[in-house]
Amino acid sequence: MVLLIAAAAAAAAGGAIYAAVHHEPAPPPPSPQPTPTPEPSTPEQPVVPDLVAAATWREKAVAACKAEQWRDCLTDLDHARALDPDGDDTPEVKATRMKAIEGITRKRNP
């Protein structure tokens, strides 16, 4: 019986020594307020505010072309294209851009 107690004590002591030697550091505490990472825009999830802003720029461009403010028209179309490149390929936008380019060309060469 004494041998059994001595073996149990030796095993317990060995376990304690192993735990002391192979101590794993505690994980770092979590940050107080994690910052959300913005999700990238994908073709399946267009960024609606950009599309709305692009439409607004295109409306301004059409108004500028009607007022024969050709440079403003092109600038507004360029702003819209930066926000919504695909919208620049529509027939209406292409026609508006061409009208502005022709207007600038006529102005330079009367």
What are the pLDDT tens digits along the chain (110 aa)?
Answer: 666 676 666 666 665 565 556 566 666 666 565 555 556 655 555 568 899 999 999 999 999 999 999 999 999 999 999 999 999 999 999 999 999 999 999 877 66
Closest CA to 81 of 44, 106, 53, 104: 53
Domain count of the fold of the chain: 1
Question: What was the pLDDT predicted at 13?
Answer: 60
Question: What was the pLDDT predicted at 73?
Answer: 95
Instruction: Tell whether 90 is covered by a domain.
Output: yes
Question: What was the pLDDT predicted at 97?
Answer: 95
Confirm whether pTM is higher than 0.85. no
Residue 45 has φ and ψ, to the nearest 5°, of -125, 80
Closest CA to 46 of 78, 85, 79: 85
Question: What was the pLDDT predicted at 5?
Answer: 73
Please list the residues that pair with 45 across neighbouring strands.
42
Question: What was the pLDDT predicted at 48?
Answer: 81
Q: How far apart are CA 25 and CA 14, in angstroms?
A: 21
Residue 106 is part of which domain span? 68-110
Q: How far apart are CA 54 and CA 42, in angstroms?
A: 17
**Token duo for residue 105:** 């060309």
Please measure the distance between the N-terminal and C-terminal CA atoms of the chain and give it in whole angstroms: 118
